[in-house]
Structure 1
Amino acid sequence: MARKRYVICGVSTRANGMFIRSMLETFQPYCEIVGLLDADPGRFANCFRKFPALNGLPVYAPEQFERMIEETKPDVVIVAGADHTHAEYIVKGLEHHLDVISEKPMVTTSSDCRRVLEAQNGSRGTLYVAFNYRYAPIHTRIKELVLEGKVGKVTSVDLNWYLDTYHGASYFKRWNRKRQNSGGLSIHKSTHHIDLVNWWIDQKPLEAFAYGALHYFGPEGELNPAREDGRYCGTCQVKQRCQYFMRWSTRSKEVVPEDDHLTQLDVKPGAYTGYRADGCIFDSEIDIEDTYTAVVKYDKGAMLSYSVNFSLPYEGYRLAINGTKGRIETQEVLSKRAGYPVPEQTIEYYPLFGGKETIHVVPRPGGHGGGDPLLLEDLFLGADPLRTYPIMAGAEAGAYSVLTGEAIWKSAQTGQPVRITELLAGKTVAGATGAH
């Protein structure tokens, strides 16, 4: 297998922890990192401090993308910066007929979806979207049960996703809190969930109707200890009255939950130029929602009932897939921060007529439920030849997940159903405003 040359656009926490580390430690015989691109020189310094083997690597500013391609002659572009930067690098990489690996969400707007799909159609390169949730063993087993016909024709899906008070609040401390950066959480986070459903049932979303609200965070948040903008957790004078902060800390010591990706060096105050990842979750610049409920209609008749909440006592989800021959159920409660024992996650299968089956899935180590290592193998070694069904997401899957997230937000804003096909065609949604 020939060794490929990679450049990385966006030297983020994700780029360092997910891609660069694995390329240097696990896939080094197959990968060579030949260039880094970012708007902040501080991110290069963080990267070189973490990975001394990369010292001396060429670095580039965003406007130097063409120069980077000319000088480093890569085979693959990895896009892992803030969400709103993805489209530019994906399109340029495909225009150079290079393969591109993009973190999710692929992009943040329907207009950028159209740009990427057009670029993919005209390129000899291929875009891969890193939907790692697909690879978690529990999720691949659900896919296999659907493919085996256990539920028959899928008629409806219920998916309720819960983020706890630590993880959920983290999005309101960081750049994600502004819609222009992330597309809102119906895109930044919900694309994970929507893509899973789209992939499980192999249907395309047509229309969404939704409600959304900012209940917990922002200046009107019920638990805001003081109405004052511009605060940071590291210097806040009222944080001992903030229940979100004190959930993990004491009056004398700040405690950060172990093994969380937010504990990495490059998100600490002062690590980046002009940016901190500990902004106040009650700041008035927050313009995204923390709660959604939605209904999505699919092209082969299925319907999805979906909700996501970013401030709950524990983290996990409940799923049910219903069909003409039976029902699949599963519930996940993450034990890492729950604070109490949680049950093993199993899959319950109920045939339409007959006895219940409980399916135990062997867990695998690694992030995102064991999905990260398997995704990386497919990205850097090629698709697993023993797998009998497609799993890697491309431009179309990336687009449908973003389009559905945008439809959810626009429906919540207008109070009207939004047709995903119209977003894809570039038609304006009446009453919707904002960057989309």
Structure 2
Amino acid sequence: MKKYVICGLSGRAINMFIEPLVKEYSRGHRIAALLDDDPLREAVCKERFPELRSVPFFRAEAFSDMIEKIDPDTVIVASRDDTHVRYILGALQSNKDVVTEKPMVTTVKDAAAVIAAEAESEGTVTVTFNYRYNPYHRKIKEMILEGKLGRITSVDLNWYIDTYHGASYFKRWNRMRKYSGGLSVHKSTHHFDLVNWWLDQKPEEVFAYGGLYYYGPDGEMNPEKGENRYCGTCHVKQACRYFMRWEAGDAEDDHIRSDEHQHLLYTNYRPDACIFDEVIDIEDTYAAVLKYDGGALLNYSVHFSAPYEGYRLAINGTKGRLETTEYHAPGRIPFEVPEQTIEYFPLFESKETIRVVRQPGGHGGGDPLLLRELFTGKDPFREYDILAGSEAGAYSIAAGEGMWRSVKENRPIGIEELLHSRQHT
């Protein structure tokens, strides 16, 4: 029986790890302890899963005590981003395996510390980049491995986060760089990891422009400048276009849920802070160019207040080009969207349209496949690796931090310069 401890009883921890371990993967796997700073999260978790009522609960400061008493095989980390590093390093020091939500950590300084600690430990680090497992993304990887594109020369990736989802980051802790690393780390590491994995190359240098254009006190849609507000008690919310769109949205959508019942789920937590607050210190828009050590170039952009959600991708190679467009959350898109396909353009032959078999589950069917590999092992029929380790986590974070630092410093940022420098501000 393999023993797990869960660090951070977030919604992600409950839905992504706890529920599958309690139900689908209960044979051969057991949750042996829970850890969180908020005792109310213990109550919420155990009410939902009565099977865990006898499982011991530890506060964050008792992490070492938990490891000593429980002696788990694996530590699962799904707490707030900035706290990941303390649990990962603590687990590695005790020679335990780690499974961590992405981003692995929030700074390259911490990423370097994790890699160094893993080198000295009997434990290993796995980063749950679930978007790799999406069937379209796996097909793209397979096309590249088959040589259908030849040597990759450039990638164009434009990502759009809509006015529901994008604004949600500015209502919560994500809006502070000290907690999230900024959205270039919290969110864009998802995207950078995909490209790094597709190319099987490491980012070498990044140059970027960006800024806070939609949110913060100077956002054009701010109905009134002044002291910090909360949507639940705001006196100008009827004049806020973002709030009014939330009100018309899907009440079950986690990104737009109001604070009405949050007091039943968390202690002293408000997920409805004003998206125009002065304390916001991150960017909401980026445009960047990344150079890779294998010669490929990436043109990347991301916008956190778009009319719809999804991405547009093109990959160019010496033998051809592929294109695909994905639309997320179709219920929030006010126009018809086509079924996603991959368009393959050989350099001197006829175009092909590839339709990929859809799979159920979150992140386009990626979540169930990731869990299956975590808890039962690699698919024996798959000839390439998907599961990510600490190095992949570190390079995705270095690309993200390099992007926001390039914006601040108005210069290209070397990725190795970041990863191997211990002097970070």
State whether TM-score is above 0.5.
Answer: yes
Counterpart CA distance in 1 for 2:317 and 2:266 is 50
AA at the equivalent of 2:280: I
d(CA) in 2 for partners of 1:145, 1:356: 14
1:339 deviates by 2.9
CA contact (8 A) 1:270 1:276 kept: no
SS of the aligned residue for 1:200 comes to: helix
1:239 and 1:245 in contact (8 A); partners too:
yes
**C-alpha distance after superposition, 1:261-294 (max 9, x if no partner):** 6659998245322221111111111110000010
Matches within 5 A, 1:231-380: 231-249=229-247, 255-260=249-254, 263=257, 268-269=262-263, 271-334=265-328, 335-380=330-375
Q: Does 1:392 align with 2:387?
A: yes
- 1:18 is aligned, of 16, 19, 25, to 16
The letter for the 1-side match of 2:267 is T
- The two structures have a TM-score, normalised by structure 1, of 0.94
What secondary structure, in the 3-state scheme, does the structure 1 residue paired with 2:75 have? strand
Matches of 1:409 and 1:227, distance apart in 2: 26
- State the AA in 1 paired with 2:125: L
Secondary structure, counterpart of 2:141 in structure 1 = helix
Secondary structure, counterpart of 2:418 in structure 1: helix
Q: For the structure 1 residues 152 and 267, does the alpha-carbon distance in structure 2 shift closer, same or farther, using more than 3 Å as the test? A: farther
Amino acid at match of 1:168: G
Q: How far off is 1:340 after superposition?
A: 2.7
* In 2: Cα distance, 1:260 partner to 1:138 partner: 25
Distance 1:370 1:40 in 2: 31
Q: What's the offset of the Cα at 1:247? A: 1.4
> For residues 256 and 231 of structure 1, do their structure 2 counterparts lie closer, same or farther at Cα, with a shift above 3 Å needed?
farther
Distance 2:261 2:412 in 1: 38
Change (3 A) 1:36 1:105: same
Give me the whole-angstrom Cα distance separating, in 2, the residues matched to 1:74 and 1:259. Answer: 34
Alignment counterpart, residue 97 of structure 2, candidates 96, 99, 124: 99
Alpha-carbon distance change, 381 to 69 in structure 1, aligned in 2, over 3 angstroms: same
2:232–2:259 Cα contact (<8 Å) kept = no
Query: CA 1:22–1:173 in structure 2 vs 1: closer, same or farther (change >3 Å)?
Result: same
Instruction: Tell me whether 19-28 or 226-235 shows the greater mean CA deviation.
Output: 226-235
Q: Which moved more, 1:399-408 or 1:18-27?
A: 18-27
1:182 matched to 2:204? The reply is no
- CA 278–203 in structure 1, closer or farther in 2 if over 3 Å, else same: same
Q: Is the 8 A contact 1:257 1:337 kept in 2?
A: no
Counterpart CA distance in 1 for 2:185 and 2:115 is 17
Q: Quick one: structure 1 residues 396 and 262, their matched pair in 2 at CA, closer, same or farther if it must change by over 3 Å?
A: farther
Could you tell me how far 1:61 is from its partner in structure 2? 1.3
CA distance in 2, matches of 1:56, 1:181: 32
Which region of structure 1 is more displaced relative to structure 2, 342-351 or 258-267? 258-267
CA distance in 1, matches of 2:237, 2:357: 42
**Preserved contact between residue 269 and residue 277 of structure 1 (Cα < 8 Å):** no
2:375 maps to a residue whose letter is F
Secondary structure of the structure 2 residue equivalent to 1:234: helix
Q: 2:149 aligns to what?
A: 151
Counterpart of 1:386 in 2: which secondary structure? Answer: coil
Percent of pairs identical after alignment?
Answer: 59
**Using a 3 Å threshold, how does the CA distance of structure 1 residues 275 and 58 change in structure 2: closer, same or farther?**
same
Extract unaligned runs of 5+ from structure 1: 429-434
Classify the secondary structure of the residue corresponding to 1:159. strand
Task: Count residues with an aligned counterpart.
Answer: 424
- Residue 213 (structure 1) aligns with: 211
Aligned with residue 80 of structure 1, among 74, 78, 81:
78
Give the SS at the match of 2:401. helix
Q: Using the TM superposition, give the Cα deviation of residue 259 of structure 1 relative to its aligned residue in structure 2, in angstroms.
A: 4.7
In structure 2, stretches of 5+ residues that fail to align are none
Contact 2:232/2:258 (8 A) holds in 1: no
Q: Which residue of 2 aligns with 1:68?
A: 66
| Preserved CA contact (<8 Å) 1:267 1:277 | no
Aligned to 2:407: 412
